[in-house]
Amino acid sequence: MAARLTRLTQVLLVLLGILAIRLIHLQVVQGPRNSRLSDRNRIRKLVLPAPRGRILDRNGVLIADTRPSFTISVVPTELTDSALPLLARLLGIPEQAMREQLKPVAMFTSPVNVKRDVTIEEVARVEESRFRLPGVHVRVDPVRHYPTANRYCHVLGHIGEVNEDEVRRDTALRRLDFVGRAGIEAWYESLLRGRDGSEYAEVDARGQEIGALPEKHAEPESPGRDLVLTIDDRLQQLAGRLLAPYPRAAVVGMETRTGAIVCLVSQPDFDPNIFMAPIDPATWDSLVSNPSKPFFNRAVTSGYPPGSTMKPVVALAALRQGALTRETRFQPCTGSFKYGSRFFKCSGAHGSLGLISAIAQSCNIYFYQAGLRLGLDSLTAYSREIGLGRITGIDMPGEKPGNIPSRQWLDTRYGKDKWGAGSVLNFAIGQGEVSATPLQMAVVYAAIANDGRSVRPYLVARIDSAGRTIHTTVPEVSQLPMRQPDIELVKLGLEHVVEWGTGTKARIREISIAGKTGTAQNPPRPDHAWFVGYAPSDAPEVVFAVLVENAGHGGAVSAPIAGQLIRAYFSPDEPEPEKPAKADSLAPEPDSGPAVPADIGLSPVPP
Amino acid sequence: MKRFDHWLVTTTLLLACLGLLAIYSSGGAYYFLRQLTFLPVAIGAAVAVLFLPRRILYGLAEPLYGLAALLLIAVLFAGTGPGSHRWFVLGPVSIQPSEFAKLATVLMLAKHLSVKRSIRFEFRDLATPLLITIVPALLVLVEPDLSTAFIFAALLAAMLYWQGMRPLHILLLFMPALSFAAGFSLYTWIPFFVVLAILLLIRSGVTKALIGLAVSAGFGLLSPVVLASLKGYQRARIMSFFAPWFDPHGISWNAIQSQIAIGSGRLIGKGFLLGTQKRLGFLPNRHTDFVFSSIGEEFGLVGCLLLLGLFFWLLRHVLLAARLSDDSTGSLLCVGFAAIIGYQVFVNIGMLLGLLPITGIALPFLSYGGSSLLLNFVMVGLVINVVSRPE
């Protein structure tokens, strides 16, 4: 017992001895230094904000960057009673609001941001009154900047200040930080956001920095990752210009073989830079009260009745089911079709047509009968299989799946069997309750162009970190249940659409285009104009889906836009046309060069 | 009252008074007054257990231990705390069941170990004490409160040693866990393994040493395998669980600030209430876990060494009580209590001095907090009971 008591006492003495030695080290050896830090000076933790990652187009054009900006911050414990009202006045913040803002952090000894992106005038005013503003600091922060302004607003989305809830949930976030709120900025938030660094600085009693304390756990900031998009800035610009005359419209361009999005524009747009600084209330009100909803990405988050662009899908479904062959002739088109007690209309009186002509002339009567023979359930099942009614999986938040008016859906909507059999007729010509986003239609047509191989659309081709590529997107391709002879027929039909049918205004001299027009009814307002097409028609590389709201006929309005974009896609070095091509001025340009061979078009994303 | 140990009473009260001063200085009048009202309650409880016949206490070992386990389970579901489940909040007071569980475990272990003449390194001897310790330790660990869970290991080691187990065997007993913990990095595991190998080769036969090293290597190797099989976010979660101090935002800041506060006190301190660092409000718990930094700043090296001296004197007398007692259960109780107090003193002050990672361990008798003060006094009351009232 005695031996054990001695041993335990010895252990105790050793442990307390270690503490005593460390105490002597801190209080005697390092005493003067610690005393200096404590008495005359304080040390302060400074945040080194990490710049958000850059975003580039496929050719390296900068579309989102950071720029330096001034931030006013205060150290709450050093702020005197008279300094707060003065600072509030200089910055134009109501005094009460500033008090409220600082209340939860009143005991902080590190700087807290009070206003971001202040003007140089405000900085000058603060600097002039510096001696009356102890604890107030001016810091240079990197903030998001979009040199392309409106051009990419729906692709990139925008960023916004974090709310209290997010700060609580994510320890890496601090008040007044920015996070992605939509688009690429939101989807790739964790990659784009860098990690803030920190260093410890020695400051004097007035809060002036004396110097860094290098040995104290300094941590350098690490910038966010850079994203290289699949978008081609040239096409994006052109698409924006072509849509500019219309109040509400959308375009999606995509490589048919990879799913790489080459342009994605939704009209109206907005300038995402406005979110960086306190927003001018008038600008904000005009954006929010705009009935066309500028924040709404029509290409991805809005479903429209596909109109006649649905017909190739119906044709493929009917061909596979054996409900249709190339030679099938239905009851001739007289301009209207009686089903039950209702009359269903067509755009003209086409007479008796085969499949190719029915597609080329977009005859409703033909497709009513094809739809009837096929049946609602088969049409529903096939539409689902090729990707309608579900999201495409693009790397962007908020994507909408559109709608397929299946038996089940109609039952829930109208009550069991309370809906008419005419639903399948509307479905077959893409009107009524069926809806799809422009992106979905581009994906569906890409699958047709690609002989049944469907792609997942994507926007980010590559992720770089400090100049080194850390990720390259590999296209995702899946095989759809389409039979090659059926596809050949439908593709022939789509070529005829542009050759002599409803889509002749998409035609350009250099490249042969295949596609389909669509005119989606939108009572009581004017129709939506669709065109979805790909080129070159014999070996497709790119597909464009164009939708212009309330603009009338797809063949008149949307087809020429697609034609222009396809021409630009295949002639990379040609200067862009000066003025946006209008629907009525689509004669082939005499000065445009010879057709460019397909293989020197835009190269696919490097592996 | 055969041999009433006045020193125990004096040092305990001195420590509590020093605590009150430091709480007043760092936390202000509000916390000072609250602690001041806790003190008579704590003294009352100490006096009550002083006169409690120990037979009755030993008879209560199992029910108290069971109650402690139940409370620890309940706190997992109904408890609160910063990112954990540690306290019950009952109106104005919050109760920490782990404080109570430490005492109940010591009592249970003391009762069980006291009937053994000696403890050999055998399953038969070790199974029950290990089980008694592991249950509350695991429950505390999942709260999560790693540093408090370690207390159970410390008190088990001390009590096994007191009951005659060889230190080498105690080391072997904890070896698999130590090896697993050290195995997270080669830099910690290699020194651990070398020291273990030398110890084993010197102190036991070659065969036994090789077996021990093999087991150790096995557990050490398991660790990176377990770590590698986890997904990135799971690993991060484990890291923040086993290493909550691994947080560049804030914690190292606290450590730096507490070292500056203590260091700036220099030889004799800045004087009572004259500390400056605490006024800047840099420490979140300056009247609880960080109370020692205020003592260091205001009373300097002299004050700190005096405080360490008081703790040494207190623990020395607790151990003396263990030695003098003719009741082996009581004797073990004293050793267990000494382990609890000694562990907390070393870990709390060590973390404020930057020797150990910052964790939530209170300084006995000094930190603000009712349940911890009460149970610290109960421990002293029981020690005096053991030394002064023969069964």
pLDDT in tens, A329-357: 888 998 888 888 888 888 888 888 999 99
Task: Describe the crossing of helices B251-264 and A31-39 by its angle, rounded to 10 degrees.
Answer: 110
pLDDT at position A539 is: 94
Q: Which of B282, B298, B327, B334 to mutate to test the interface with A (most CBs of A within 10 A)?
A: B282
Across the interface, whether the CB atoms of A15 and B338 are under 8 A apart is answered no
Q: Average the pLDDT over A564-584 and give the result.
A: 66
Considering only the beta carbons, identify the residue of B263, B319, B335 that sits closest to A31. B263
Across the interface, whether the CB atoms of A5 and B319 are under 8 A apart is answered yes
Please tell me chain B's helix, strand, coil percentages from 3-state DSSP, rounded to the nearest 5: 75, 0, 25
CB contact at 8 A, B270 and B20: no
- Please give the span between the terminal C-alpha atoms of chain B, in angstroms, as a whole number: 11
Please work out, in degrees rounded to the nearest 5, the angle formed at the alpha carbon of residue B314 by the alpha carbons of B313 and B317.
Answer: 85
- Check whether A600 has a pLDDT greater than 50: no
Of residues A301, A358, A292, the one with CA closest to residue A324? A358
Considering only the beta carbons, identify the residue of A2, A15, A77 that sits closest to B281. A77
The continuous run of DSSP H or E covering A211 comes out as strand A209-212
| Partners of residue B259 in chain A, C-beta under 8 Å | 26, 34
Of residues A397, A56, A451, A392, the one with CA closest to residue A256? A451
- Check whether A209 has a pLDDT greater than 70: no
Q: Where are the alpha helices (DSSP H) in A129-231?
A: 153-156, 164-169, 183-187, 189-192
Across the interface, whether the CB atoms of B263 and A8 are under 8 A apart is answered no
Across the interface, whether the CB atoms of A18 and B308 are under 8 A apart is answered no
CA distance B268 to chain A (A): 9
- Say how many domains are in chain B: 1
Residue of A nearest to B334 (CA): A5
Residue of A nearest to B282 (CA): A109
Across the interface, whether the CB atoms of B297 and A38 are under 8 A apart is answered yes
**For chain A, what percent of residues have pLDDT higher than 70?**
88
Q: Which of A6, A21, A27 to mutate to test the interface with B (most CBs of B within 10 A)?
A: A27
Of residues A544, A21, A578, the one with CA closest to residue A236? A544
Residue of A nearest to B251 (CA): A217
pLDDT at position A604 is: 39
Encode burial over A158-190: b for 16+ CB neighbours within 10 A, e otherwise. Answer: bbbebeeeeeeeeeebeebbbbbbbbbbbbbbe
Domain span at B310: 6-388
Domains (range + CATH), chain A: 38-75+139-229 (3.90.1310.10), 233-275+286-309+371-592 (3.40.710.10)
- For residue range A477-517, list pLDDT tens digits in order: 999 988 999 999 999 999 999 999 999 999 998 899 999 99
Please work out, in degrees rounded to the nearest 5, the angle formed at the alpha carbon of residue B160 by the alpha carbons of B159 and B162.
Answer: 60
Supply the residues of A annotated as catalytic. 308
| Partners of residue A35 in chain B, C-beta under 8 Å | 263-264, 266
Q: Which residue has the tokens 């063949």?
A: A555
What amino acid occupies position B331?
S
Q: Which of residues 252-311 of B touch A (CB under 8 A)?
A: 252-253, 256-257, 259-267, 276-277, 280-282, 296-297, 300-301, 304-305, 308, 311
pLDDT at position B249 is: 38
Q: Average the pLDDT over B5-14 and give the result.
A: 92
Q: Is B319 on the interface with A (CB under 8 A)?
A: yes
* Region of poorest pLDDT, from A241-245, A278-282, A561-565: A278-282
- Quote the tokens at residue A324: 């249709």
Torsions phi, psi for A409 (to 5 deg): -65, -45
Across the interface, whether the CB atoms of B256 and A171 are under 8 A apart is answered no
- Check whether A579 has a pLDDT greater than 50: no
- For residue range B124-166, list pLDDT tens digits in order: 888 999 999 999 999 988 877 778 888 999 999 999 999 988 8
What is the C-alpha separation between A320 and A482, in angstroms, rounded?
Answer: 7
- Check whether B236 has a pLDDT greater than 60: no
SS (H, E, C) A318-346: HHHHCCCCCCCCCCCECCEEEECCEEEEC
CB contact at 8 A, B283 and B358: no
- Check whether B280 has a pLDDT greater than 60: no
What is the C-alpha separation between A146 and A62, in angstroms, rounded?
Answer: 9
Q: Is B232 on the interface with A (CB under 8 A)?
A: no
What is the C-alpha separation between A253 and B160, in angstroms, rounded?
Answer: 76
Cβ pairs A/B, distance under 8 A: 120
Across the interface, whether the CB atoms of B305 and A23 are under 8 A apart is answered yes
Question: Residue B306, class by beta-carbon neighbours within 10 Å (0-12 exposed, 13-18 middle, 19+ buried)?
Answer: middle
Across the interface, whether the CB atoms of B267 and A27 are under 8 A apart is answered yes
Across the interface, whether the CB atoms of A8 and B161 are under 8 A apart is answered yes
- Quote the tokens at residue A219: 């941590």
Residue of B nearest to A10 (CA): B316
Of residues A321, A322, A309, A254, the one with CA closest to residue A602? A254
- Per the DSSP assignment, residues forming a β-bridge with A142 are A68
DSSP line for A79-131: --TTHHHHHHHHHT--HHHHHHHHGGGTT--S-EEEEEEE-HHHHHHHHHTGG
What is the C-alpha separation between A446 and A456, in angstroms, rounded?
Answer: 10
| pLDDT band (50, 70, 90) for residue A593 | very low
Average pLDDT, chain B: 84
What is the C-alpha separation between B267 and A579, in angstroms, rounded?
Answer: 83
pLDDT at position A83 is: 84
Torsions phi, psi for A106 (to 5 deg): -55, -30
What is the C-alpha separation between B194 and B213, in angstroms, rounded?
Answer: 10
CB contact at 8 A, A212 and A48: no
Of residues B353, B96, B140, the one with CA closest to residue A26? B353
B260 in a structural domain: yes
B1 in a structural domain: no
Q: Is B143 on the interface with A (CB under 8 A)?
A: no
Q: Which long-range contacts (CB under 8 A, 24 or more apart) does A178-182 make?
A: A178/A52, A178/A143, A178/A144, A178/A275, A178/A276, A181/A157, A181/A275, A182/A157, A182/A158, A182/A295, A182/A297, A182/A397, A182/A398
Q: Is B351 on the interface with A (CB under 8 A)?
A: no
The continuous run of DSSP H or E covering A520 comes out as strand A514-522
Indicate the SS3 state at residue A222. Answer: strand
- Per the DSSP assignment, residues forming a β-bridge with A455 are A477
Residue of B nearest to A37 (CA): B260
B175 in a structural domain: yes
Q: Which of residues 325-344 of B touch A (CB under 8 A)?
A: 335, 338, 342
- For residue range A509-534, list pLDDT tens digits in order: 889 999 999 999 888 899 999 999 99
SS (H, E, C) A127-139: HHCHHHCCCEEEE
Across the interface, whether the CB atoms of A42 and B280 are under 8 A apart is answered yes
What is the C-alpha separation between A247 and A237, in angstroms, rounded?
Answer: 17
B378 in a structural domain: yes
Across the interface, whether the CB atoms of A23 and B248 are under 8 A apart is answered no
Of residues A458, A465, A461, A397, the one with CA closest to residue A191? A465
ipTM: 0.91
Across the interface, whether the CB atoms of A23 and B277 are under 8 A apart is answered no
B40 in a structural domain: yes
CB contact at 8 A, A269 and A248: no
pLDDT at position A78 is: 73
The residues, any chain, with a CB within 8 Å of residue A140's CB and separated by 6 or more, are A68, A69, A70, A71
- Check whether B248 has a pLDDT greater than 50: no
β pairing state of A136-145 and A62-74: antiparallel
Of residues A143, A145, A137, A153, the one with CA closest to residue A178? A143
SS (H, E, C) A242-297: HHCCCCCEEEEEEECCCCEEEEEEEECCCCHHHHCCCCCHHHHHHHHHCCCCCCCC
A179, A500, B274 from A146: Cα distances, Å: 15, 43, 53
Among chain A, residues having any CB pair with chain B shorter than 8 Å are 1-2, 4-5, 7-9, 12-13, 15-16, 18-20, 22-24, 26-28, 30-35, 37-39, 42-43, 45, 77, 107-109, 171-172, 198, 200, 216-217, 219
SS (H, E, C) A31-83: HHHHHHHHHCEEEEEEEECCCCCCEECCCCCEEEEEEEEEEEEECHHHCCCCH
pLDDT at position B82 is: 58
| pLDDT band (50, 70, 90) for residue A542 | very high
Distance of CA A450 to the CA centre of its chain: 25
Across the interface, whether the CB atoms of B161 and A4 are under 8 A apart is answered yes
- Please give the span between the terminal C-alpha atoms of chain A, in angstroms, as a whole number: 75
Q: Is B349 on the interface with A (CB under 8 A)?
A: yes
B135 in a structural domain: yes
- For residue range B78-128, list pLDDT tens digits in order: 877 655 667 777 766 678 889 899 999 999 999 999 988 778 888 888 899
Of residues B326, B157, B306, the one with CA closest to residue A11? B157
| pLDDT band (50, 70, 90) for residue B232 | low
Considering only the beta carbons, identify the residue of B257, B264, B282 that sits closest to A35. B264
pLDDT, greater one: B314 or A215: B314
**For chain B, what percent of residues have pLDDT higher than 90?**
39
β pairing state of A226-229 and A209-212: unpaired
What is the C-alpha separation between A40 and A15, in angstroms, rounded?
Answer: 34
B38 in a structural domain: yes
B372 in a structural domain: yes
Distance of CA A212 to the CA centre of its chain: 41
Q: Average the pLDDT over B174-199 and give the result.
A: 80
Q: Which of B155, B166, B253 to mutate to test the interface with A (most CBs of A within 10 A)?
A: B253
